[in-house]
Amino acid sequence: MIAIVNYGMGNLRSVQKAFEHVGAKAVIVDKPEDIDTAERVVLPGVGAFGDAMSNLKTAGLIAPIVRAISEGRPFLGICLGLQLMFAESEEMGQHRGLDILPGKVKRFPEGQRVPQIGWNEVRIQRETVLLDGVPDGSYFYFVHSFFVASERDEDVVGVTDYGIDYASIAGNDRAFGVQFHPEKSQDAGLKILKNFAEKV
């Protein structure tokens, strides 16, 4: 069973429906014990980094999420969920993240329209089962104003160009995050969700 974590940061229904479409059972949960008993954990989310961390803390969800990852249960962060995996963010002040991956969340430099809204290419940096059957250079749907700057090159799974090259897929072992919305990225996105549900 896949647990989609609900912590008041955006609509999760589309993520659930996309998993169902590829034959995976996913439930929306908001209690620590539901994360502890889940086989796989998905952390979606849109909105502000600081609010997200504070909501996770209030709901007592930080420890169960970190535990799931350290126990090697498959984890997928989506959009803000990817950013939360990192150590800190400079979005509206300085905020601590879940600190699963070393690195920082930064705002796009001047000169680009922000938020980035639309379909952009992902150049695959290394092989992982998460991307089985997903062609290099596939387009995914992005909506974001901040990006992750990973400290370790080996954590960068996919790279996207929006004025600068940044990590659009990051992670290692069985914990991954994607900056785009796989649930709204047509076949390429659905394939990633299917791989996550079946292979990671």
Partner 1 sequence: MLARRIIPCLDVKNGRNVRGVRFSADKDAGDPIALARRYDAEGADELVFYDITASAEKRDIVGKLVRRVSEEVFIPFTVGGGVRTYQDIRIIIEGGAEKASINSAAVHTPEIITQGAESFGSQAIVGSIDAIRRPNSNQSEDVRWEVVINGGRTYTGRDALEWAEELVDRGAGELVLNSIDADGTKDGYDIELNRRVAERVDVPIVASGGAGGPEDMYAVLSKGKASAALAASIFHYNQYSIAEVKTYLAERGVPVRPRIEIDLT
d(C-alpha 36, C-alpha 42), whole Å: 13
Closest C-alpha to 153, from 135, 142, 143, 166: 166
Instruction: Spell out, one character per residue from 102 to 141, where the chain touches partner 1: x when CB under 8 A holds, - when not.
Output: -----------xxxxxxxxx-----------xxx--xx-x
Q: What angle do CA 24, 27, 29 make, to 5 degrees?
A: 150
Is 183 noted as a catalytic residue in this protein?
yes
Strand 26-29 and strand 40-43: the pairing is: unpaired
Under the binding rule (CB under 8 A), the answer on residue 26 touching partner 1 is no
Under the binding rule (CB under 8 A), the answer on residue 22 touching partner 1 is yes
Under the binding rule (CB under 8 A), the answer on residue 72 touching partner 1 is no
CB 169 within 8 A of CB 195: no
Q: What are phi and psi of 192, to 5 degrees?
A: -65, -40
Under the binding rule (CB under 8 A), the answer on residue 59 touching partner 1 is no
Is 181 noted as a catalytic residue in this protein?
yes
Catalytic residues: 79, 181, 183
Binding site for partner 1 (CB under 8 A): 10-11, 13-14, 17-18, 20-22, 46-47, 113-121, 133-135, 138-139, 141-144, 161-162, 181, 183-191, 194
